[in-house]
Amino acid sequence: MSDSTTTPVADGTSQTPVAEPAVTTVTAHFKLVFICVAAITLITLMASLYIGIFIEKPTEATKSVMNTCSTLTNLGFGAMVGLLGGKAVN
């Protein structure tokens, strides 16, 4: 016996059914979370770049802020990839 089911066609042959592609629904809540994460990521990226480019003699506190912004940018990028990957799996 075969595991797949076949559908008889008018000319007497059988045809295996074709799976329809899954539809991914993007809700308003997902959009809100994704846009917030993207905005925070862009803000921290811009802050890190601004400190790196325009501050000529950074203090230890300034270096710490730049490192924190860089870390938040990396985490935000990872969160966006995770959100999109999780949505694609559903």
Q: For 4-60, what is each residue's pLDDT tens digit?
A: 566 656 666 667 777 777 777 888 999 999 999 999 999 999 999 999 999 999 999
Question: In angstroms, how far is CA 5 from the centroid of its own chain?
Answer: 37
CA 45 to chain centre: 17
Euclidean distance between CA atoms 9 and 60, whole angstroms: 76
Strand, helix or coil at 56? coil
Q: Is the pLDDT of residue 76 over 70?
A: yes
